[in-house]
Chains A and B, each alone.
Chain A
Amino acid sequence: MAPELQSSQPWVEKYRPKQVKDVAHQDEVVRVLTNTLETSNCPHMLFYGPPGTGKTTTALAIAHQLFGPELYKSRVLELNASDDRGINVVRTKIKDFAAVAVRSGQHGGAYPCPPYKIIILDEADSMTEDAQNALRRTMESYSKITRFFFLCNYISRIIEPLASRCAKFRFKPLSGEIVSNRILHICNEEGLSLDAEALSTLSSISQGDLRRAITYLQGAARLFGSTILSKDLLSVSGVIPQEFVDALYAACKSGDFDLANKEVNNVIAEGYPVSQMLVQLFDVVVEADDVSDEQKARICKSLAAADKCLVDGADEYLQLLDVASNTMQALCNMPQEFSYES
């Protein structure tokens, strides 16, 4: 059966759970929020966890369930990093919205419509510290009529005073089983066939990020039709084929600098992302049996340094070459200190 591909919506949006109880794997949060739905009372919330675990989904779902489509516009303010969120916005837009009083006892049919508004601050860890500080007082003074939901990846980037005012919920990375279930559900809906091997590949490359798993699945379905194999998923996901990683590792082991240089050039010319290469090289090194702990430590140190440099925007070729050279020195027991450094 041909897959139905009429709707141009990404599946991530199409299959976003509409109700809090449908959110997978986050039992605590779901329990608290279901309670909220019954009693229509809730604290300020702070959701944190790795990408693709359902933070935005949960926040949107609860807002929709509380207010229904009619009141949603007037009661919910959704701000994310694509809106300007400097200190000015906090002082004006958020404050204005927070200050507006709401009529209580207004019932929109089946929805509870509690007498407060919700402000969802998505990707709150990209807010500046000043902006976060400016929020503190606003949160307290309008707490009767406004609830704040903060969504972020790293809780350490939220200043302590804000974090302490919220009920914190950690969103766990999804287990392979949950990802598989969700994927199978989508496959059924979309009429795709996916064998067991492909399914396990998908849950291993997505590493608990459901959004990534769904995006890969959709990408593979677009490119390769309704029967998806394990290798199709690998090619969509951008994982580097193992033989390239092994070739580079072998070149480092051989102790021949020019050979390693050639392999590095090859990786760059093939267009593989170097950050991905570092991750996979790391796996190879850690699992290698014939390498001593000290050598592993030396290699990992250079991998970490190179990763940081890449984040800063350094050149991929030079960084990978540096890593290869360091790995070679470690594997071939060359002296660690450079001999001619003055």
Chain B
Amino acid sequence: MLWVDKYRPKTLDQVMVHEDIAQNLKKLVTEQDCPHLLFYGPSGSGKKTLIMALLRQIFGSSAEKVKVENRTWKIYAGSRTIELELTTLSSTNHIELSPSDVGFQDRYVVQEIIKDMAKSRPIDIKGRKGYKVLVLNEVDKLSREAQYSLRRTMEKYSASCRLILCCNSSSKVTEAIRSRCLNVRINSPSEEQIVKVLEFIGKKEGLQLPPGFAARIAEKSNRSLRRAILSFETCRVQQYPFTSNQAIPPMDWEEYVSEIASDIMREQSPKKLFQIRGKLYELLINCIPPEIILKRLLYELLKKLDEELKHEVSHWAAYYEHRMRLGQKAIFHLEAFVAKFMSIYKAFLIETFG
């Protein structure tokens, strides 16, 4: 079992990073009156962990007995029938799904499936906890139509069903939905907090941590706790006992992007662009999301650039990322950014050095 899963806090009391939020959530559900919740925050900040701990707090240990199901729904939309397949995680009291997985048909998922589930009230002999919890992941990736459909559903079935929505950025969730939920912001843990967690894990595993080692991992992790724990475990596998100057291996793809960045800086020509296209394809094939590639590439380039070029380059990065979102094929826009950068940089070099 990976350490990330092994040391995931199971209850709200065990949470180490967002203690105050956890305590507030606990108060919220012990008063038997849970509103709709919207969790938002960067990845690796602990949204899912808190949600699972919250469910356990509400429903007891039965919330942990989850089964994975591949369910198919038949939806009659006017003249044609649409079949949708979606993976759900469910226990007796809650269902978890990512409606955005079905792409542009997510509207139907929201309209039909959620309605369907929200309508059926769970049967409980004691007559308490008369509601089900529906966890929706990645609500920020839902289409606008689907978000519209969600809002009235939320009001209509509020007596029998609570929604827990989870997303990275709440800018992409419509105001209408945000105003119907209790918004819970989960910030990334600070480096000190990451160090604290790493030291806790180290102690549990009986490891000797050289001073400053945990701090270095935390610094490299970009304030993502998951990443910090993963790279901590990688270090453990690579070399133990730790030495204080042990290298912390970067992610493969990050190294690859930084290679691309130095390639671009070295030579600006159509031939190089062609080679870079191959490398970008390689990254895309390995399922690195294009916007992450672009952001990392910008990060690498900004490190190497002169002050006066930074504004221009960051502007074009924002421009091409926006275009990428509107378009279909990510490779065009990534390549366009690289080409644009080459042209800017070449012009700069000619002007400076003649």
Contact = CB atoms under 8 A, between A and B. Distances in A.
Contact of A318 (B28, B172, B295, B345): B295
Nearest to A271: B41
A294 interface: no
Contact of A314 (B79, B151, B152, B318): B318
B182 interface: yes
A271 B186 contact: yes
Interface residues of B, number: 75
Interface in B30-66: 31-36, 40-42, 45
A9 B159 contact: yes
Contacts of A236: 182-183
A209 B179 CA distance: 9
Given A81-B148, A212-B179, A274-B171, A315 B347 contact: no
Interface string A302-318: 00001001101111111
Nearest to B176: A51
A82 B317 contact: no
B351 to A, nearest CB: 7
Nearest to B143: A313
B169 A326 contact: no
Contact of A342 (B153, B171, B186, B343): B343
A323 B4 CA distance: 36
B298 interface: yes
Interface size class of A (residues with CB under 8 A): 35 or more
Interface string A223-255: 111000000000011100000000000000000
A120 to B, nearest CB: 11
A270 B188 contact: yes
Contact of B307 (A9, A219, A257): A257
B149 A223 contact: no
Given A86-B78, A88-B79, A269-B42, 13 more contacts: A5-B33, A80-B152, A81-B148, A123-B148, A215-B179, A238-B170, A238-B185, A257-B311, A271-B45, A274-B169, A310-B172, A325-B310, A340-B347
Interface of B: 24, 27-28, 31-36, 40-42, 45, 77-79, 110-111, 115, 130-131, 145, 148-153, 155-156, 158-159, 169-172, 175-176, 178-183, 185-188, 223, 291, 294-295, 298, 302, 307-312, 314-315, 317-319, 321-322, 325-326, 343-345, 347-348, 351
